Structure 1
Amino acid sequence: MSETPDLSVVVHGPNVQDHLPALLDSLASHPLPGTEVIVAAVGDWAREAAERHTPAFTVVPLPDGARDSAARSAGAARATGRWLHFVHAKDGLPPGAPRTVAEHTAGLPGTVDVLLLDHVRSTWRAAGLPSPDGPRLARAGRADLALDDRPALLGLAPLLGNRAVRAGFWRTHERLLTTDDEPFAALVALLLADRVACLPHPAYEERRLRPESLPPVTPEQRYALVDRYETLLGLAADRPAVRGALYDLMVRDCLRTFARAGMPDDVAREFFRRASSAVRRLRPEEHRSPAGLEGVRRSLLADGAYRKYRALQAANHGRRGVRSAVRTGRRLAGNRLRTLQYRRALARPVDPHLAVFSAYWARGVACNPAAIAAKLAELAPSIHPVWVVTAANAALLPPGTDHVVPGTRRYWEVLARAKYLVNNVNFPDAVVKRPGTVHLQTHHGTPLKRMGLDQLPYPAAARGLDFPALLERVDRWDFSVSANGHTTRMWQRAYPSRHVSLDHGYPRNDVYYTAGAAEVRAVRERLGIPPGRRAILYAPTHRDYEAGWTPRLDLAALAADLGEETVLLVRAHYFYDGASAPSAPLAGLRRTGRLIDVSSYEPVEELCLAADALVTDYSSIMFDYANLDRPIVVHADDWETYRTTRGVYFDLMAEAPGPVARSQAELTEILTTDAWHDERAAKARTAFRRRFCEYDDGRAAERVVRRVFLGEDERTLPPVLPVEERTPAPSPEEATAS
């Protein structure tokens, strides 16, 4: 690198929805002489991501909550390049962008202060969408020019990322440019520049986050749009062409915000009043409004005709509504009776003492919802729980369980009236989020495989998923339960919405710290595991890329190799082919008790308590079982295929909770030697537990109930006990000895 870099790329901000690592990886994969990277990392998550690239990048750590303006200033203060390119941590850079910017700025005359760049846009739905700015930049040409000669450039997307600025220019005007209002800063940079140049080449990627995942926009932020343009027009007081272009921008942005922002009526009225006043006061002399419908809108705004403008909107919406009603009429007709029943129930008051619970698509009383319901009965017995359970599973419910069957009249009544709705998946699309109700999403595992929107690039995983409908369901969540920091972060990126993360641990895992020797012995007796036998729980996961189930292990051969002192607990119907009977060897093993089919056994937590060790592939059961601090063996014969087709969040082969077998022969070798429980296995398990059992300490359900149902302050909840201070349930060997 030269003594003075040509370009400083200043990456700044928090690791929003985990987009920062991809940006930094792309910069690191194509290092460029003459270019430096400064990362002003806001918060620990961003700092951890950035420090993986030291010393190649300069990292400036900033505390959580530091504003974007402060991060930009901190990064610029450490930059030594002649030009600065500010890149927000949520955004990206197209391949080769730093090289393109560096080469272009190197050839610019010293009179140019700002280089305008084309950009692409990405959303959760699509990536790399072209912006409308490219043609405008191309028409302006690449030579340096004055803004007064090309005022239409003010209409470019107001981003700091689509303009590189000369470092000396930035430092001269830093006071005006340092603001959290990025559009304001982007426009000010243009207004203050002596000369600008254009590069009609995409050199920035703006990632537009779901509005539903961002904090709600306050009324003051809405009104600030008008104030922004008042200030900008003041800076352009003696520049007629620039002032006219800015005025048109102000009117356009005010009309768009009013029409699309969905403001409450009182806020909308005040916004309209302020915008109307500004439009009248700041109108340049001899300015002409456009003809047609746009001209009508502008005239109504200038006149302050709020009611007339609303009437115009209603007429347009009405025409669109008629067309929409025709399209949806047939679909709604089939659900008319259900809709009528539900709407009648929605008209009744919310019952503050009613809670609806469901787990695994109405399978029964299970998982995190079951643990929460049990603790709720203890701490808040005045709240009545009703479980949603299919008719087929209703007979398996514990005696006295109040329940409803999906689709029945009472089902819709309790969903409409319950204050609390708790689920480890999602309630149906038709469920309405009523004001005053609380939706608690408990989830049912720690994610190794990609979830939610992160499944979009993986056709095998995304097949049949309606992502817009998924996001509508996610937007109903008030709270999302998490067992560790990894999960919290992955839920943020996979399910971008405004829900509050409850970093309290998974309630279903409490039993791993509350169960004693008697409970461990009792469940082994129920399963028929003879005393002194080693029990291995085999629990593989589903493969999205397979049309049907493909056996991963020859269970008969494995049982034979492990000997009579080992019992296999098989958590799946792996030895059945449709309705056919098990093969003769497997049937014999079942008769002798050396293989026990526990596929339908509930709860799974009891199986974990009974097992001396776990064998799994990519199932999230490994994260829960790790709480017991017992041996885990990973059988990963198709890791490359699974990772490629399903997508994963981390490399399990490098961060496994124990030894990894890539074939049945290797698995047998591990289980017939000390490798399954030796010192190396214990070391891997300890590191895994620290990362993924972070919040599980036996009091998760209590924390959730106190926070959600009793409304207690987060700071008053029982603190999470450090991993090294916890005592898991005794192992089967310890339980037998006690």
Structure 2
Amino acid sequence: MQPGLSVIVHGPDPQGHLGELLDSLTAQPFTGAEVIVAAVGDWARQQAEQRAAEDPRMVVLPLPDGTSDGAARAAGADRATGRWLHFVHAKDGLPAGALRAIADRTAELADTADVLVVNHVRSTWQTAGRPGQDGRYLAGGGRRAAPLADFPQLLWVTSVLGNRIIRADFWRSRAVSDDLADADFGDDETYTALAVLLHADEIAALDEVAYEIRELREQSLPPMTTAQRYQCLERYERLHRLLAARGASEGPRAVLYDLMVRDLLRVFSRSGMPEAEAREFFGRASEAAVRWRPEHHRRPAGFEGVRHAFLEENAYTKYRVFQAANQKRREVRSVVAAGKRQVGAKLRDLRYHRALTEPVDPHLAVFSAYWDRGVACNPAAISAKLAELAPHIHPVWVVARNKAALLPPGTDHVIPGSRRYWDVMAKAKYLVNNVNFPNAVAKRPDAIHLQTHHGTPLKRMGLDQVDFPAASKGLDFDALLARIDKWDYSVSANSHSTRMWERAYPSRYTSLDYGYPRNDVFYSATAEDVRAIRDRLGIAPGRRAILYAPTHRDYEAGWTPRLDLASLADRLGEDTVLLVRGHYFYGGAASPLAGLRRSGRVIDVSSYDPVEELSLAADALVTDYSSIMFDYANLNRPIVIYADDWETYAKTRGVYFDLMAEAPGQVAHTQEELAAVFETGAWRDEAARKALTAFRRRFCEFDDGRAAERVVRRVFLGESEESLPPVVPVDERTPAPTPEEATA
């Protein structure tokens, strides 16, 4: 039986939203629809195939990376068999009940209706499900389908394809298909959304929310090009010609005219064009305004009418004066508001701003890690490789005063807030951090900010914490965005991280899919290195070492021990050493752990750095939700997940995937289960090996031992992407020897 509705999900997976959209579709059990996923790129295909395996309505249509939106829509439409087509962009959403509402409304429409226009909500990183203004236009349409001439206000409905459900025969008709196949306009969604209304014989309306527009942050999108600015002009020229060819009445022509003027003035005012280009664009827009102005058209009232008049008169200078006056008025209001806060500059700020006027030092790099804790993590690995490949670049580390004494001998460093600190922050060509630099640090145009991150995200990060107050704890998201906008590069260890960073930290930085430099040591360490680390830790040869590294709980006011270590050590026996990296392991002499500590069966490694050495020393890892699991997986050694509170953690902190379904090994929910995993040998049985193999392929994707080299060559030496060492496939890598192999 022919389905009534074909939902065509199209595009790549922008900022990790496709999975949410597909999940919302599978949660709507309506059977009268088919779902065609025109998945652009491997990541989108994988997301779609995972859901299609559980939803028989879903058909995956894989498309190569770089396929345009227009081509993806066309491919999806060609595959669709439904009477009505609903184009849903991969970044957007479908509210609960949308499929049923659309199907019910289209089922009652006669074949003379070509398009159904529905209402929508709009979501940003700040707000979810915000109603728009389209209801006032849709309500006037009533329940009947009618020509556009009867309801020209429908042209004001937000111009996206997702709020237009289109009859399949109409979409494939000669006039429409030829128009939308035009190479210059096939990818222009605004043009397509308006053109289907202009072509339609009858249009129906549904004042019910059946679509969610997810508005990506502007700063995460490529800036508008000159060609795109003029395409906006050409779009409306073509639409007006289309209306004229169809002999449209003055109603639709007047609304389209007002739409055109509004959009052209927005492009002119907001795009920051150079003076000569701005003057030329304004002149061409003025010509269009004069050419297409309906005979009896009346300008809007107020400021908008003044803007219309200036454009129609080609009064560029007057418009600029008017624009500047409005800007000045806004600035005065802002200054008055700011006057209630302290705005005077301190001596430190004066020094820093003075230093910012001096030339950038191309041979100076500033490094920091974990909020100035010292030489660590990805920045440390990059700095070490820098000394090898680019010794002409001098590294200076930002280190808190109480950590300075712990630095490796000879480390050039500055203390935050000191005079030299502000001097190097102002002059450094390169600024490298695994978190963010303070808000006060300016982004110079010729400086390069490299964000290395310090883990693979299981828990929600950045803007994705908005809905999880236990995790965000009053985080200033606007300030966070300002810091993100300073990034030039973002280092990633796997495709999952790349997508989640794009989503959690939306801006225009370049993702470096090179692997985590701190994990290079997992492929370069030798048997001698492993023996030396274990010797430093006091692990006797032949003993099994288990690293226990739990993560922090945002929902807890303090630290709650998750395991009875004394009992666990007794169960695991004399030949097992527990390396415990946790904040609670500070018992007194009377503690049951005291004797275990003296015998070396439990070793507190909470303050031991670098953590990579602990991983190299361990035969196995026990963790809960800590990102150490993603790094440790590079060693291809057993990982056991101890998840005694997974449901609580997932609900309060928010997670990006279900660790229980995609764990890197055995999962224990109680201490009894955890002890049994080791007593029975399940920690390294065939099931555990298979789980670890799948986990490594997904999350150790780019970690092959040469990440730091790629970063240094690309960022500091300016080498091309093509010249960098290619990533070695996971199954072809040889990690560092295990402790057992190292002592053989």
- What is the rounded CA distance, in whole Å, between the counterparts of 1:393 and 1:61 in structure 2? 52
Question: Which stretch shows the higher mean deviation, 463-472 or 347-356?
Answer: 463-472
Instruction: Name the residue aligned to 1:195.
Output: 202
User: Equivalent of 2:525, from 515, 532, 541?
Assistant: 515
Is the CA contact (8 Å cut-off) linking 1:637 and 1:663 kept in structure 2?
yes
- Counterpart for residue 370 of structure 1: 380
Aligned-partner Cα distance in 1 for 2:280–2:444: 27
Q: 1:471 aligns with which of 457, 481, 486?
A: 481
Cα gap change, 1:698/1:359 in structure 2, threshold over 3 Å: closer, same or farther? same
| Cα distance between partner residues in 1 of 2:553 and 2:33 | 44
Deviations 1:48-86 (A, max 9, x none): 122231542122211111111111111111112222111
8 A Cα contact 2:140 2:151, kept in partner: no
1:110-509 alignment, distance < 5 Å: 110-172=111-173, 173-178=176-181, 179-237=186-244, 238=247, 239-329=249-339, 331-333=341-343, 336-509=346-519
Match of 2:641 among 616, 631, 634: 634
Call closer, same or farther: CA 1:220–1:424 in 2, change over 3 Å: same
Letter in 2 for 1:650: F
Tell me, what secondary structure is at the counterpart of 2:149?
helix
User: Alpha-carbon deviations, 1:81-128, whole Å to 9, x = none?
Assistant: 222111111111111112111111111122221111111111111111
2:657 to 625, 643, 650: 650
Match of 2:595 in 1: 588
CA distance in 1, matches of 2:323, 2:373: 47
- Is 1:688 the equivalent of 2:692? no
Q: Which amino acid aligns with 2:312?
A: A
Distance 1:306 1:410 in 2: 48
- Provide the rounded CA distance (Å) in 1 between the counterparts of 2:590 and 2:310: 80
8 Å Cα contact 2:33/2:57 also seen in 1: no
Please give the secondary structure, in 2, of the residue aligned with 1:634.
strand
Helix, strand or coil: the match of 2:114?
Answer: strand
Distance in 2, matches of 1:509 and 1:169, equals: 56
**Which residue of 569, 585, 588 maps to 1:559?**
569
**Greater Cα offset, 96-105 or 333-342:** 333-342
Identify which range, 661-670 or 287-296, moves more after superposition: 287-296
| CA shift digits 1:603-661 (9 cap, x unpaired) | 11111111122111111111111111222221111111111111112222222222211
Q: C-alpha displacement at 1:330, in angstroms?
A: 5.2
Quick one: which amino acid aligns to residue 417 of structure 1? K
Deviations 1:214-256 (A, max 9, x none): 1221011012111111111112224322222211111111222
TM-score, length-normalised on structure 1?
0.96
Could you tell me how far 1:184 is from its partner in structure 2? 0.9
Report the more deviating stretch, 522-531 or 329-338.
329-338
Amino acid at match of 1:618: Y
How many residues are matched?
732
Partner deviation per Cα, 1:444-494 (whole Å, 9 max, x = no partner): 111111111222222211222111221221121111111112211221221
What's the secondary structure of 2:370's corresponding residue? coil
Q: Distance in 2 between matches of 1:331 and 1:736?
A: 65
TM-score, scaled relative to structure 2: 0.95
Structure-1 residue corresponding to 2:731:
724
The aligned counterpart of 1:619 is: 626
The equivalent of 2:58 in structure 1 is 57
Rounded to whole Å, the distance in 1 between the matches of 2:194 and 2:590 is 74
Q: Indicate whether 1:668 and 2:675 are aligned.
A: yes
Q: Distance in 2 between matches of 1:456 and 1:583?
A: 44
Q: Report how far residue 362 of structure 1 moved.
A: 0.5
Counterpart contact for 1:364–1:394, Cα < 8 Å: yes
User: Contact conserved, 2:4 with 2:32, CA < 8 A, in 1?
Assistant: yes
Structure 1 residues 351 and 560 mapped into 2: Cα distance closer, same or farther (>3 Å)? same
Identity within the alignment, %: 69
Instruction: State which of 574, 582, 600 in structure 1 corresponds to 2:584.
Output: 574
Distance 1:692 1:185 in 2: 39
> Matched residues in 2 for 1:679 and 1:58: separation?
33
The whole-number CA distance in structure 2 between the counterparts of 1:146 and 1:43 is 40
Query: Any gaps of 5 or more consecutive residues in structure 2?
Result: none
The CA distance in 1 between the partners of 2:29 and 2:335, in whole Å, is 55
Note if contact 1:538-1:614 (Cα within 8 Å) is conserved in structure 2. Answer: yes
Partner residue of 1:41 out of 39, 42, 48: 39
Letter in 2 for 1:388: V
CA distance in structure 2 between the aligned counterparts of 1:536 and 1:33, rounded to whole angstroms: 51
Return the alpha-carbon distance in structure 2 between the equivalents of residues 582 and 280 of structure 1.
89
Root-mean-square deviation (Å): 1.7
Once residues 446 and 178 of structure 2 are traced to their aligned partners in structure 1, the CA distance between those partners, rounded to angstroms, is 44
Partner of 1:604: 611
State how far apart, in whole Å, the 2-side matches of 1:188 and 1:462 are. 44
1:674-716 Cα offsets, whole Å, 9 max, x none, are: 2222333222222222221111111111111111111111111
Report if the CA contact (8 A) 1:9-1:37 is conserved.
Answer: yes
